[in-house]
Amino acid sequence: MDLFKDKTILITGGTGSFGQSFTEFIIKNYQAKKIIIFSRDEFKQFHMEKNIPDPENKLRFLLGDVRDKERLNRALKDVNIVIHAAALKQVPALEYNPHEAIKTNIIGSQNIIEASIDQKVEKVLLISTDKAAQPVNLYGATKLCAEKLFIAANNYSPNSTRFSAVRYGNVIGSRGSIIESLLNNKPTKINITHPNMTRFWITLKQSFNLVNFALENMIGGEIFIPKIPSMKLIDLTSSIAPNVEYQVTGIRPGEKLHETLLSTEESRRGFELKDYYIITPEKGLSIYDFSKYEKMGKSINEGFHFSSNTNTNWITKKDLQKIIHEI
């Protein structure tokens, strides 16, 4: 099934690691009508346009900011699918500049919702993060707000514009990640915040599959979560830089020891499929029927939570080295 056949797709924050890689993925594998990259960095757009093969001239680049609703209204004209990846993400920076996080991650998401409804976009998908589940930092709190906005938005556009979200952890090989830093900088000394810290890890290909699955199956208001593995950060760094000296510095402001992708409270209204968990909206917050997921999987057991330290699926050092080699 060609999910994007003859569709116009707009990706906010499309010059980021996900946006660039997903754009290449669509061009190579699908027959989209047009792919619009919407972002505020003209330099990144210039390099993206230069480096991504576009033999059928399907790529378009629009400068703009999700904070500007008027610009979004113009950009979303005749768009079928929106993938909302634009966000401020650096946890320490957002702890120090909370007002900027709110303007982009919350108000910007609200602008996406309103412009999408006004322009009658068919499907709008939020790219969220594990930090939105039981957040302890401002970044996670703003992404939780964005999720809540997207879920409630379905009541303002019944059977017209559908809104859902995907939630996942750290992306292996993304720009600015710890893996990229270790591979490119070859440090002689590494700071470790805590020796037992764990994180969820996902490859770009897995994130593409998740987005495609969500867009193909979304009814409106779900949060789609992939069953991805965990790894200790100290194991990750030692597998890439085995002979480097380590210094434990302590957990930074706004940082968790472990992350959660699915909380106990959310699991009560969730479904487990082969490769994904799906959280459906709380009763009274949706007009849609989600019974199809009962046929696709099963209800999640009472009390279950999906956290990086209690995960049953772990990446070994050998697994990581194989993934990095493939990247």
DSSP state of 285: S
DSSP SS3 for 242? coil
DSSP SS3 for 278? strand
User: Any idea which residues carry the catalytic annotation?
Assistant: 131
What ranges make up the beta strands (E) of the chain?
8-12, 34-39, 59-63, 81-84, 123-129, 162-168, 170-172, 189-192, 198-203, 223-226, 230-232, 245-248, 260-262, 270-272, 276-279, 298-299, 306-307
> Helix 17-29 crosses helix 204-217 at what angle (to 10 degrees)?
70
Measure CA 322 to chain center: 23
Cα 146 to Cα 54, 271, 291, 324: the distances in Å are: 32, 22, 25, 32
